[in-house]
């Protein structure tokens, strides 16, 4: 019985070590692909600045708030701008013709 218990303990310890090793590798891989903290803070600031600019564009009566009507008018105009062939739909071809560029969120506003 003691031999079985020792064998089970050895198997348990080995599996725990393998699991911990896998977790350490996963964390190391995440750290190597994540932007540095200085860029992360800059991304938050850039995102906040971009959001403020967008709200200023939408706020037609300049009361510091965006009503549902202001929001919907802005989005309708943006849809019309993106619908380059004016068929009532936005598709990949419309987006390719527009000047929208995909930018990673953490680089928005740079």
Predicted local distance difference test score (pLDDT) of residue 93: 87
Domain assignments of the chain as residue spans, ordered by start? 1-34, 38-110
Say if pTM beats, i.e. exceeds, 0.85: no
Predicted local distance difference test score (pLDDT) of residue 23: 62
Predicted local distance difference test score (pLDDT) of residue 43: 66
Q: What is the CA radius of gyration of the chain?
A: 26
Give the mean pLDDT per block of 10 residues along the chain (110 residues): 64 61 63 61 73 86 91 89 89 80 51
Torsion of CA 42, 44, 45, 50, to 10 degrees: 120
Predicted local distance difference test score (pLDDT) of residue 41: 65
Could you tell me which of 57, 51, 79, 83 has the C-alpha nearest to residue 70? 57
Predicted local distance difference test score (pLDDT) of residue 89: 92
Check: CB of residue 47 under 8 Å from CB of residue 109.
yes
């Amino acid at each position: 019985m003691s031999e079985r218990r020792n064998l089970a303990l050895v198997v348990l310890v080995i599996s725990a070590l393998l699991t911990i090793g896998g977790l350490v590798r996963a964390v190391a891989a995440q750290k190597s692909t994540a932007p540095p903290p200085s860029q992360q803070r800059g991304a938050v600031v850039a995102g906040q600045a971009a959001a403020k600019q967008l709200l200023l564009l939408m706020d037609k009566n300049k009361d510091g708030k965006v009503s549902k009507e202001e929001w919907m008018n802005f989005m309708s105009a943006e849809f019309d701008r993106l619908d380059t062939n004016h068929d009532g739909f936005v598709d990949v071809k419309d987006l390719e013709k527009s000047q929208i560029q995909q930018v990673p969120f953490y680089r928005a506003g740079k």
